[in-house]
Copies of this chain bind each other. A is one copy, B any other.
């Protein structure tokens, strides 16, 4: 493997000059630039990042810590981040925290030690996720999809209250009256906010929310399945349900099918997220779609801005979700 000194020797210059050329330092004469570039080409030279990172105390890699790699919402977000990051000259590495605080803190330590240039994270927990190792060392951080309490960081999220409210209003419009809510993991802001929007939507229609109709599915498929089953087993089961993400919606739909309840006639359903197959399930699923790709783009842009100017006040971008009505919520 060639080193910078090999390039320097071949080009007949000092290592310092090679370094300058490599880093677009304008003080090098046109002639030497050419000679160095030729030598780099010739030797197929690639700078050693470890050495560069050690010297510069930083890399050109962004870390993206997502809480569920299986969720198309997050993978779309990844693409948004990538698009902008690559333009800004960064590579993106992905770490799957898997809704697990331990894994999350492990990855935070890893990316810190790897000296990534910045971190975009969907925190596993609103209150327990600890970003301070990052923030204390001045690593730029942007929170996406979910809020994190007690840390003043840039954030890009959906308006979850409004999203849920929209879903409830729509269900109400279609004649459903006993509407349940299958929530996500406790301690995650999206779950809390969507629950708030659920209650708001009901109250706006003069309906008193019933605690028995609110149940958690932990953002997991079998959680959604169990939750739906328990809902149906109640003395006065709901005639509709709002589901906090599409992974649980799969479980809920399975439960409904097993229980022999027909959607949308017996039970109406609206879920958050708009996965590719939403229109293909039977019946086509009505959803509250979030601007996943855009969230990723905004996050990368905010990160870029913060890297340039770390004193700017934390920005908070909130995107409006969008109701997409299909069949699962329409009574005939």
Binding site for B on A (CB under 8 A): 1, 46-51, 53-54, 57, 59, 61, 63, 69-70, 72, 75-76, 78-79, 82, 91-96, 98, 106-107, 109-110, 112-115, 137, 221, 247, 250, 253-254, 257, 275-277, 279-283
Residues on the B chain within 8 Å of A53, using CB: 50, 53
Residues on the B chain within 8 Å of A281, using CB: 277, 280-282
B46 and A54 contact, CB distance less than 8 A: no
| Smallest beta-carbon distance A203→chain B, Å | 33
A48→B110 CA distance, assembly (Å) = 10
Offer 18 A-B interface pairs, CB within 8 angstroms, sorted by A: A49-B115, A50-B50, A50-B53, A50-B57, A50-B114, A53-B53, A69-B69, A69-B94, A70-B79, A75-B75, A82-B96, A91-B106, A91-B107, A91-B110, A92-B96, A93-B93, A93-B94, A277-B281
| Smallest beta-carbon distance A281→chain B, Å | 5
A255→B241 CA distance, assembly (Å) = 30
Residue of B nearest to A138 (CB): B1
B280 and A46 contact, CB distance less than 8 A: no
B75 and A69 contact, CB distance less than 8 A: yes
A82→B95 CA distance, assembly (Å) = 10
Residue of B nearest to A115 (CB): B50
Residue of B nearest to A57 (CB): B50
Known: A51-B54, A70-B76. 20 other contacts (CB 8 A): A1-B137, A46-B112, A47-B113, A48-B54, A49-B114, A50-B54, A50-B59, A54-B54, A69-B75, A69-B94, A82-B96, A91-B95, A91-B107, A92-B96, A221-B276, A254-B280, A275-B277, A280-B281, A281-B281, A282-B282
B79 and A69 contact, CB distance less than 8 A: yes
A276→B78 CA distance, assembly (Å) = 20
Which among B82, B96, B115, B257 is the interface contact of A79 at CB below 8 angstroms? B96
B280 and A250 contact, CB distance less than 8 A: yes
B279 and A48 contact, CB distance less than 8 A: no
